[in-house]
A and B are shown apart, each in its own frame.
Chain A
Amino acid sequence: MRHIISVLMENEAGALSRVAGLFSARGYNIESLTVAPTEDATLSRMTIVTTGSEEVIEQIVKQLNKLIDVVKVLDLSDGQHIERELMLVKVRAGGKDREEMKRMADIFRGRIIDVTDKTYTIELTGTGSKLDAFLEAIDAGAILETVRTGASGIGRGERVLKL
């Protein structure tokens, strides 16, 4: 099962390596991992997307909690949540393809943020599957480069992860 886990941790040097090290040492999967400081600069918030059986996920949450730098852990998949990922994709957009590429970006509510005679750079936000769908919808040969941030997640409604 795919789980999306949020971690609040002390914003200290090496904190990220403790989490990454934990996952590799114990053989847990990481599909994606994003991290940045929060509005409180002493705290970082990390979103980890992982897969595993219920037992494995339970161990992941416990092992994360055991890290001394970790303040709070929340398995967002336990409840309603929203997740978003940002993708920048550079595509071939010359000649007859140029109009078609623009239309596809519009359909997916993407924004063209850089333009040359032959290329567009499109910014796209959404769930991972929406980004996948965009890449499948356009001509694979037109893709020059993609970069994705991995998912960030937050609880729906009044569900809050805070100190």
Chain B
Amino acid sequence: MELTGAEIVVRCLAEEGVEYVFGYPGGAVLNIYDEIFKQDKFKHVLVRHEQGAVHAADGYARATGRVGVALVTSGPGVTNAVTGIATAYMDSIPLVVVTGQVPTPAIGLDAFQEVDTVGITRPCVKHNFLVKDVRELATTIKKAFHIAATGRPGPVVVDIPKDVTYHTGEFAYPAHVEMRSYNPVLKGHPGQIKKALQMLLAAKRPLFYTGGGVVLADAAETLKELARLLNVPVTSTLMGLGGYPASDKQFLGMLGMHGTYEANLSMQHSDVLLAVGARFDDRVIGDPAHFAREQRKIIHIDVDPSSISKRVKVDVPIVGDVKAVLEEMLRQIKAGRERPDREALTAWWTQIELWRAKDCLRYNRKSPIIKPQYVVEKLWEVTRGEAYVTSDVGQHQMWAAQYYRFDQPRRWINSGGLGTMGVGLPYAMGVQFAHPDAQVACITGEGSIQMNIQELSTCKEFNLPLKIILLNNRYLGMVRQWQEFFYKERYAESYMGSLPDFVKLAEAYGHVGMTIEKPEDVERSLQEAFAMKDRLVFMNFITDQEENVFPMVPGGKGITEMILAEEL
């Protein structure tokens, strides 16, 4: 049947089973919005800034594993969306971002609200399309969803000129799509898997180093089974938290720049390292030369071949879907008779327990000023560890990662790769739309929250009962920490002098605001806030201004060259 381009867009989204489209209208997408108005297959969420739309779609995708969808207009709509797209790209999150474009005859003429969307987004998307012919629209959207969700996931932009939205064409939504140039390898090479297992079974000091790929591939259960079967310690990157239960005794905590003592030492001294859906980035292994000082065999499972041997040379590369490969490993172990070296493992665990006894995450619990770590611990208790927790970027993000013990995947939602301040609130919106009955907390700082604070208005419109946990130290805390350590306490532009009254601000947006100033009030206020199941509560915790995140590996150092709290 003949449909207009705008009708086709809306029909395609419905065919894909999209629940929510996060967006903001404008000239180039008016026809699409007109069709959205006429349908009831999916809901549209009007945000207050395009960046918020993409982050919200991203948060939805992270919490569900489904493709998030955002819709913005041409020109500034697109440039505002770019930070959101780049954020999703760095963390491999599946998104389809539909962008309006000026009519095809106007392209290249510096038309009103024109930017080269395909050019601007090219370096931060998995792929992008400019659809110049309405007859190609449906297939292109199908391809966009296919590319976004398969292989190593990522954002895909579909740029649609306005004239294409009113031209008509035959509509038939393809059931599936095949591309000769895009066929991600999912099944790991059996020979490589066998080799990897032999190495693991012979290991004296094995370690699993797991990343966001475990979460993305929905491989948490398989990973747990394999780790338990082999009695191997597990450490996770920031992005992988929740991929292995944090309260399990085999879990060593997060590794890297703010990783635990036991995780970083195990990483350095392991003799066989199984990297699963992780990419050895600079925040994880620090100085690669220092990392290479110790001899170890590395097995690396990743769906993206270009992640393998990028920063660290790998001995056994296994390209494939993390879950499929781990399942094959389990199958081969169960079928064989070989078992791990029990004696060696006992000695390895004894060593690890000595490192763990350092208790590197302890902090002053008797402080008369609220310690940020304490707030996160209490949040964990009050929510029984079951909340979806989003964060922004900075010290509060690290404390959230260290002190909220995530036992399940997709509960920890943050910008690990790009480190985008301002994601926390829109992420929480996306999560709450995906899970309307779940407890959703946004741990943030007074710097980050102000980067997308306009979304409090969206939260009011949709009655999202988020709990905003603002750890307010009146400093851009992570910047201040680096300035304290590496710039002789010259606090250049890291103090925030004139903060808004956050309680009044929350109230102005129609929400509940609270300020908490004493440690003894922390737990009670959290309980009070979470008891308000139908209200957004903005909790302004006045925390210790000079608290630092420990342990810390200074930039460019080796991962065992940590600064610990006690050393200061």
B-facing residues in A41-94 (Cβ within 8 Å): 55, 58-59, 62-63, 65-66, 68-71
Q: Which residues of A approach B to under 8 Å, CB–CB?
A: 9-10, 13-14, 17-18, 21, 25, 55, 58-59, 62-63, 65-66, 68-71, 163
Report A-chain residues with C-beta under 8 Å of the C-beta of B50: none
Q: A25-B123, A62-B306, A66-B306 are in contact. Are A13 and B181 (CB under 8 A)?
A: no
- The residue that B304 contacts in the complex, of A10, A55, A66, with Cβ under 8 A, is A66
B180 at the interface (CB under 8 A from A): yes
A17 interface neighbour in B119, B126, B309, B313, Cβ under 8 Å: B119
Query: What is the bound-complex CA distance between A21 and B127, given in angstroms?
Result: 13
Report yes or no: A9 in contact with B122, Cβ–Cβ below 8 A.
no
B182 surroundings in chain A (CB, below 8 A): 68
- A63 contacts B147, CB within 8 Å? no
A163 partner residues in chain B, CB cutoff 8 A: 180
Given contacts A17-B122, A21-B123, A63 and B306 within 8 Å (CB-CB)? yes
Complex Cα–Cα for A55 and B288 (A)? 14
Return chain B residues, CB-CB under 8 Å to A17. 119, 122
- Among B130, B181, B305, B313, contact of A71 (Cβ-Cβ < 8 Å): B181
Complex CA gap A86/B313 in Å reads 39
A70 and B181 contact, Cβ closer than 8 Å, known pairs A18-B122, A21-B123 = yes
Tell me whether A68 and B180 are in contact in the complex, defined as CB-CB below 8 angstroms, given that A17-B119, A55-B309 are known contacts. no
B310 is an interface residue with CB less than 8 A from chain A? yes
With A10-B181, A18-B122 in contact, is A65–B127 under 8 Å at CB? Answer: no
Is B118 close to A, CB under 8 A? yes
A25 to B86, CA, bound (A): 14
Asked if residues A69 and B181 are in contact (CB atoms below 8 Å), the reply is yes
Given A21-B122, A59-B310, are A65 and B130 also a contact pair (CB < 8 Å)? no
Q: Which residue of A lies closest to B122 (CB)?
A: A21
B126 closest partner in A (C-beta): A68
* Listed residue (A21, A55, A62) with the most chain B CB atoms within 10 angstroms of its CB: A62
Are A62's CB and B180's CB within 8 A? Answer: no
Contact in complex: A58, B181 (CB < 8 Å): no
- Determine the chain B residues whose CB is within 8 A of the CB of A70 once the complex forms: 181
Complex: A29 Cα to B118 Cα, angstroms: 24
Chain B count of residues within 8 A CB distance of the other chain: 18
CA distance A59 to B309 in the complex (A): 8
**Bound complex: CA of A69 vs CA of B180, how far in Å?**
9
A18–B129 alpha-carbon span in the complex (Å): 12
Tell me, rounded to whole Å, the shortest Cβ–Cβ distance linking A129 to chain B: 32
Sample of 20 further A-B pairs with CB below 8 A, known A9-B181, A14-B122, A68-B181: A10-B181, A14-B130, A17-B122, A18-B122, A21-B123, A55-B309, A59-B306, A59-B310, A62-B305, A62-B306, A65-B306, A66-B305, A68-B127, A68-B147, A68-B179, A68-B182, A70-B181, A71-B180, A71-B181, A163-B180
Pairwise interchain contact B130-A13, C-beta atoms closer than 8 A:
yes
CB distance from A53 to the nearest CB of B (A): 12
Query: Closest residue of chain A to B181, judged by CB?
Result: A71
| Chain A: CB-nearest residue to B143 | A68
26 sampled A-B residue pairs with Cβ under 8 A: A9-B181, A10-B181, A13-B130, A14-B118, A14-B130, A17-B119, A17-B122, A21-B122, A55-B313, A58-B309, A59-B310, A62-B305, A62-B306, A63-B306, A65-B306, A66-B304, A66-B305, A66-B306, A68-B126, A68-B127, A68-B147, A68-B179, A68-B182, A69-B181, A70-B181, A163-B180
In the bound complex, what is the Cα–Cα distance between A14 and B132 (angstroms)? 13
Q: How far is the CB of A13 from chain B (nearest CB, A)?
A: 7
Q: Complex formed: what's the CA distance from A9 to B127 in Å?
A: 14
Q: How far is the CA of A58 from the CA of B126 in the complex (A)?
A: 20
CA distance A63 to B304 in the complex (A): 10
The listed residue with most A CB atoms (<10 A of its CB), out of B130, B179, B305, B313, is: B305
CB-based closest 9 A-B pairs: A62-B306, A68-B127, A71-B181, A62-B305, A25-B123, A68-B182, A63-B306, A66-B306, A21-B122
B356 shortest CB reach to chain A, Å:
36
Chain A residue contacts of B305, Cβ below 8 A: 62, 65-66
Residues in A whose Cβ lies below 8 Å from that of B147:
68
Instruction: Give the CA-CA distance A55 to B180 in the complex, in Å.
Output: 27
Q: How far is the CB of A70 from chain B (nearest CB, A)?
A: 6
Q: Looking at B181, B305, B306, B309, which has the most chain A CB atoms within 10 Å of its CB? A: B181
Chain A residues with CB below 8 A from B304, complex form: 66
Give the docked Cα–Cα distance between A17 and B179 (Å). 20
Q: Please, which residues of chain B bring their CB within 8 A of the CB of A71? A: 180-181
A157 to B462, CA, bound (A): 67
Q: Which residues of A contact B310 (CB under 8 A)?
A: 59
Residue of B nearest to A163 (CB): B180
Residues of B within 8 A of A9 (CB): 181
- Interfacial chain B residues near A25, Cβ < 8 Å: 123
Chain A residue contacts of B127, Cβ below 8 A: 68
Bound-state Cα–Cα, A17 to B116, Å = 13
A18 neighbours in B (Cβ, 8 Å): 122
Tell me, in angstroms, the Cα distance from A68 to B313 when the chains sit together.
Answer: 26
- The complex places the Cα of A9 from the Cα of B180 at a distance, in Å, of 10
Q: Which residues from 173 to 213 on chain B have a C-beta closer than 8 Å to any C-beta of chain A?
A: 179-182
- Note all chain A residues with C-beta closer than 8 A to B122: 14, 17-18, 21
> What is the CA–CA distance of A71 and B306 in the complex, to the nearest angstrom?
16
Closest CB-CB distance, A69 to chain B, in whole Å? Answer: 6
Q: In whole angstroms, how far apart are the Cα atoms of A58 and B180 in the complex? A: 22
User: How far, in Å, is B435 (CB) from chain A's closest CB?
Assistant: 32
Chain B's nearest CB lies how many Å from the CB of A50? 16
What's the Cα separation between A9 and B119 when bound, in Å?
18
Residues of A within 8 Å of B119, CB to CB, are: 17
Chain A residues in 8 Å Cβ range of B181: 9-10, 68-71
- In Å, the complex CA distance between A62 and B310 comes to 10
Chain B hits for A10, CB < 8 A? 181
Which residues of chain B (264-311) have a CB below 8 Å from chain A? 304-306, 309-310
User: In the bound complex, how far is the Cα of B306 from the Cα of A68, in angstroms?
Assistant: 14
Q: Which residue of B lies closest to A62 (CB)?
A: B306
CA distance A14 to B309 in the complex (A): 29
- Shortest distance in angstroms between B440's beta carbon and chain A's nearest beta carbon? 34
In the complex, what residues of B have CB within 8 A of residue A21's CB?
A: 122-123
What is the CA–CA distance of A69 and B128 in the complex, to the nearest angstrom? Answer: 10
Q: Tell me, in angstroms, the Cα distance from A68 to B147 when the chains sit together.
A: 9
